[in-house]
Amino acid sequence: MNSSGPRIRPEIEALPTYKAGKKADATPGVTAYKLSSNENPDSPLPSVLDAIALAATQVNRYPDPFATQLTDALAKKFDVVPADIGTGTGSVGVLQQIVQAVAGVDDEVMYAWRSFEAYPIVTKIAGATCVEVPLNSRGEHDLEEMAKAITDKTRVIFICTPNNPTGPIVRQTDVDVFLKKVPTDVLVVIDEAYIEFNRDNEAVNGLATYRMHSNVGVLRTFSKAYGLAGLRVGYFVGPENVAEAVRKTAVPFGVSSIAQAAAVASLEADTELFAKVDELVRRREWLERELRALGFDIETSQANFVWLPLAEKTDEVAAICFAHALAVRPFSGEGLRVSIGEQEALERFLTLVAPFAR
Ligand SMILES: *Cc1c(COP(=O)(O)O)cnc(C)c1O
């Protein structure tokens, strides 16, 4: 019991403090690299920086609370009605808005595990119950087991594809079978934070699936492929009543005017940005080939990171990386996630992990 101050809700007190991807220790003469948060290694494009600079001149004004320009641009890009879109402070913000909107005390929020670390956090903040269904041995969602875990308390199911931190996609055919088993009053959210990096055409198409079902929505972000992690902007495309609820549960004026302007400018620069995404995908495929050549048994990732299932060696390898100014993301006892960053960083990573291959 905490007897030394105002009372905090017990489920909040029990929450772990969020651990952001760490920066590596600075070593004299060695460039430090951060491969721990799945960020885009490139600075924003000049056209996006111009939009940011222009928006900065007007920050004495509140932002548009409805992000109208951004919403309209997204609606046009995806050929959906603006009423089906909700924005938020990063897709983590949107995630929280969704859970607040559909799940309260005694309700259940389901997702695969291990998956994105924000799922349990936003669930507990809402006072709802986490239902975690283990991934299979290849780090993939087990949709059969997830369907079996549905109860009359289930309110929302998150499907993360490609899955963070393991990397595989969820197949369209599996989602189609799964959705037949999900009651239509249960929301299914397909979290496509890394979808721009996917090159597997068997992967579920979130927007197409949303168009075919009344209980499916898609979560997207400008933080990864679009390289705007520092500005916090993400969005939901889904059933109109859910999108409306997502707009109601948003922090008022949460998405800043600078973030809105940068997101709109980024959508206009799609072609240039996707050429950079292609380069990151080539780098990922190269890294996977090199890791396999060393003898690592890894699954194919469709995101901007690769998962190394190092089990009990995880912390040791992560410590070696940190000691060589390379920040990576260890999950103790399970594995290590390395983001596709600068080529030199990945080459250093390969050298450091080589002794740990089978
Ligand atoms: C990074 C990530 C997000 C989004 O992060 P934001 O910066 O809040 O938009 C959402 N889902 C998954 C699975 C992620 O890895």
For residue 335, the CA-to-ligand 1 centroid distance in Å is 19
Nearest of 124, 129, 165, 168 to residue 149 by alpha carbon: 129
Q: What's the pLDDT tens digit per position in 37-62? A: 999 999 999 999 999 999 999 999 99
For residue 38, the CA-to-ligand 1 centroid distance in Å is 9
Cα–Cα distance between 270 and 275 in angstroms, integer? 9
Tell the residue nearest (CA) to atom 12 of ligand 1.
Answer: 193
* First-to-last C-alpha distance (Å) of the chain: 48
ω into residue 162 within 30 of 0, thus cis? Answer: yes
For ligand 1, say whether the CB of 229 is within 6 Å of any of its atoms: yes
Which pLDDT value is given to residue 28?
79
Of 164, 191, 221, the residue with max ligand 1 atoms within 8 A of its CB, to mutate for a pocket test, comes to: 221
Tell me the three state secondary structure of residue 2.
coil
Tell the residue nearest (CA) to atom 13 of ligand 1.
Answer: 116
Q: How far is CA 125 from the centre of its chain?
A: 19
214: its two tokens: 């009344």
Bridge pairing between strands 33-34 and 329-331: unpaired
Total length of the chain: 358
For residue 90, the CA-to-ligand 1 centroid distance in Å is 7
Tell the residue nearest (CA) to atom 1 of ligand 1.
Answer: 193
Cα–Cα distance between 286 and 45 in angstroms, integer? 25
Q: Is the pLDDT of residue 187 over 80?
A: yes
Cα–Cα distance between 159 and 301 in angstroms, integer? 16
Tell the residue nearest (CA) to atom 4 of ligand 1.
Answer: 91
Q: What's the pLDDT tens digit per position in 10-39? A: 999 999 876 666 666 667 789 999 999 999
Which pLDDT value is given to residue 232?
98
11-29 burial, b at 16+ Cβ within 10 Å, e below that, comes to eeeeeeeeeeeeebeeeee
| Confidence at 106, pLDDT banded by 50, 70, 90 | very high
pTM: 0.96
| Confidence at 96, pLDDT banded by 50, 70, 90 | very high
For ligand 1, say whether the CB of 234 is within 6 Å of any of its atoms: yes
For residue 221, the CA-to-ligand 1 centroid distance in Å is 7
For residue 94, the CA-to-ligand 1 centroid distance in Å is 10
Q: What percent of the chain has pLDDT over 70?
A: 97
Residues ≥6 apart with Cβ < 8 Å to 135: 112, 113, 114, 115, 141, 142, 163, 166
Q: Which of ligand 1's atoms lies nearest the C-alpha of 163?
A: 13
